[in-house]
Amino acid sequence: MNMFKPVKIVDLSLTLDDNTPIYPGDPKPHLSVATTIEHDGYNLHHVHIGSQSGSHVDAPYHFLQSGQTIDESDLSLFIGTGLVIPALGKGEQEAIRLQDVQPYVDQVEAGHIVLFHTGWSQYGGTDKYFLHPYVHVEVIKALLEKGIRTFCIDCINLDITGGDSFPAHDAIAAVNGIISENLTNFESIDFANPLISLFPIKLSGSDGAPVRAVAMQVE
């Protein structure tokens, strides 16, 4: 009998607490003690978060009124073989262009989950975190043509933060694709063909949801 066996599991998720970086203007997360074993017989927390607090996924509805909400999205979009695209040389608010990643675009296959590795998660907790590189829409369009529908990045936004347009989000939403942002630890994916899992909380009618994102080496 063949059994699924993860040899290694890499946590790609930020710890969600009161200090987790959020997109400017989003609800600020706050976790507090609701009950304790000492006083109530059990421990329970009160958790106040936004739909996109911490490591999360965006549903098409985030930028498209007619787009699918997170509870409507095809679950197959949240799991698949990952392809890490390195973009470690990019500076503040610098675009990841097609010429930077063309070899990876050439090898990607429909159904892959693409992860843009900027290394920017190291700046969490500083102002620099919000000056991250971003993915130019020409890259997104090329990957969409190859059948990619799920896009991940290890910074707070696939598009530029603080701008007034979101072309990458718009292009992905138009095909009911999925974006996962505020991820981390991509450098620990040191094995080929990682199995990426991004399953979100099933929030009714929501634009997105927090996720415990992982990469798994399986045999």
3 state SS of 167: helix
Residue with tokens 């965006």: 58
Q: Domain count of the chain? A: 1
For residue 91, give both structure tokens. Answer: 């500076």
CA dist list (Å): 53 to 22, 50, 62: 6, 5, 14
- CATH at residue 186: 3.50.30.50
Residue 167 belongs to a domain: yes
| Residues of the domain holding 171 | 6-14+50-218
Residue 42 belongs to a domain: no
Taking only the tens of pLDDT, the chain with its 219 residues reads 567 789 999 999 999 999 999 999 999 999 999 999 999 999 999 999 999 999 999 999 999 999 999 999 999 999 999 999 999 999 999 999 999 999 999 999 999 999 999 999 999 999 999 999 999 999 999 999 999 999 999 999 999 999 889 999 999 999 999 999 999 999 999 999 999 999 999 999 999 999 999 999 998
In this prediction the pTM is: 0.96
Residue 131 belongs to a domain: yes
Residue 19 belongs to a domain: no
Q: Report the DSSP pairing between strands 56-58 and 208-210.
A: antiparallel
- C-beta of residue 173 within 8 angstroms of C-beta of residue 62: yes
Residue 25 belongs to a domain: no
> Which residues are CB-contacts of 53 (< 8 A; sequence separation ≥ 6)?
16, 20, 22, 26, 27, 29, 210
Alpha helix stretches (DSSP H) within the chain? 37-40, 98-107, 137-145, 167-173
Give which of 184, 209, 193 is closest to 10, Cα–Cα: 184
Q: Give the pLDDT confidence of 2-37 residue by residue, as tens digits.
A: 677 899 999 999 999 999 999 999 999 999 999 999
Residue 74 belongs to a domain: yes
Residue 159 belongs to a domain: yes
- The dihedral built from the CA positions of residue 121, 208, 28 and 13, taken in this order, carries a sign that is negative
Residue 39 belongs to a domain: no
